[in-house]
Amino acid sequence: FALSQAFRTVGAMMATPLGTHFGLSPQQLGTWAGTFHFMLGIMQLAMGVSIDMFGVRRTVLTAFPLAIAGAALCAVASSFHMLLLGQALIGVGCAPAFLACTVFIARHFDASRFTAMSGLVMSLAGMGILFTGTPLALLIEAASWRAGYTVLAAFAVLSWIVIFWRVREPARAVDLALQPAPAERQSLRKAVRELLPLFAMPHTLGLLCFACVSYAAFITLRGLWLGPVLHERHGLSLVASGNVALVMTVTGMISPALFGRLDPGPARRTRWMMGCASAGALMFGAMAFTHSAAIDIGLPIVYGLISGYSVLQYAYTKNGYPAAMTGRAMALMNMAMFLGVSLMQWTTGVAASWGVAHGIEPFRAVFLTVAGMLAAGTLAFALLPRAPVPARAS
């Protein structure tokens, strides 16, 4: 899971050297970054079915070698298309990472420890994002961007070996994996069919619109554009940009736990969600129209601190659907979040290239696009039907 977090945020330090080496346009950089999240997003349902059918261990051991192969391919890539293929393989390989951790904890530990263990896993996974700040910047400056992918591939190999060696599942999980073959072949189709009733519920569309932009804004900034804007707009070195990314990562790691503790409850939760997203849109608007280094350094750090508002979506989803539908609703929301990252990274790349072609600073176009998408997703959430507040919370 930590390596998955690292792979999704390498762009902040990789974008500038990759763009220089391959002569990539901003649109190509957006496509390169978005490919990982697109593949990861569309594979969520299949990985969930695989975990149910074959267990956590076998699913991860089968999928993760694709991430290793993708990282190795990126390390030796001689063209943009090889980079895209590498990113696609990494996305598929990392697709089960978060879900595997969650299911493993649920199956292996007592229910009373689920929240504590999940929080520990989330914190440890943040080490992957920390690596793509200052440490990755130092590695790229000392060697090259290829060394960054090589080191990540080596860590991925080590992770696979340790999982193969140490991870064992409780007997119940193994038994679940030994289902008759005909039932297995029907499972993916059944899972898709089970998502359809969610769309009949009036508040699903608003949730999906919000989920598409909330997490995407943080990852698009931290995982793609933060390094380039600090380097190209303000002349910061790669290492100095990495230091800013490191601090933003730390605030981003604190934020989910903070919002988890400050959750105002069902009656006010949606107002908090919309308020934080609106504040984020204003921050991106400020970065679009100012060329102040203090703004472009300070606001990403502040945004990292409020970015944890996206975790309120999980509580909203849990309360907004019947217990029998909660798992499907969570899976659908996760898909929307990852596909939203892919869409926003690709769209901002298109916007940056459009800005260059029309004499507009590309980062202004990028930040206005993020602000607009955040505002549109929040407005849709506000105007479309929302989940009813439980009577006891009214």
Strands (DSSP E) found in 82-178? none
* 55-57-58-63 Cα dihedral, nearest 10 degrees: 110
- Going by C-alpha positions, the residue among 110, 106, 234 that lies closest to residue 173 is 106
CA–CA distance, 102 with 314 (Å, rounded to integer): 14
344 with 37: CB under 8 angstroms?
no
The pLDDT of residue 181: 46
The pLDDT of residue 172: 53
Instruction: Take residue 254 and report the two structure tokens written for it.
Output: 């604190």
The pLDDT of residue 184: 43
CA–CA distance, 5 with 128 (Å, rounded to integer): 5
CA–CA distance, 213 with 202 (Å, rounded to integer): 19
Instruction: Take residue 267 and report the two structure tokens written for it.
Output: 């009656």
Residue 358 backbone dihedrals phi, psi, to 5 degrees: -110, 15
Instruction: Take residue 303 and report the two structure tokens written for it.
Output: 């945004």
- Going by C-alpha positions, the residue among 273, 263, 233 that lies closest to residue 361 is 233
Three-state secondary-structure class, residue 246:
helix
| Residue appearing with tokens 């997490």 | 215
CA atoms within 13 A on the CB side of 178: 5
The pLDDT of residue 185: 46
Residue 389 is given by DSSP the state P
The pLDDT of residue 171: 61
Q: Sort 391 into a burial class: Cβ within 10 Å, 0-12 / 13-18 / 19+.
A: exposed
The pLDDT of residue 394: 47
Instruction: Take residue 245 and report the two structure tokens written for it.
Output: 């990314």
- Going by C-alpha positions, the residue among 376, 206, 215, 225 that lies closest to residue 308 is 215
- Going by C-alpha positions, the residue among 177, 233, 172 that lies closest to residue 59 is 177
Q: Sort 367 into a burial class: Cβ within 10 Å, 0-12 / 13-18 / 19+.
A: buried
Mean pLDDT by 10 residues, the chain (394 residues): 95 94 95 96 87 88 97 97 97 92 81 69 86 96 96 97 90 50 54 82 95 95 95 95 95 85 87 96 96 96 92 84 78 90 96 96 97 98 90 55
Three-state secondary-structure class, residue 286:
helix
Roughly what angle, to the nearest 10 degrees, separates helices 326-357 and 181-199? 70
- Going by C-alpha positions, the residue among 94, 89, 86, 26 that lies closest to residue 60 is 94
CA–CA distance, 330 with 314 (Å, rounded to integer): 7
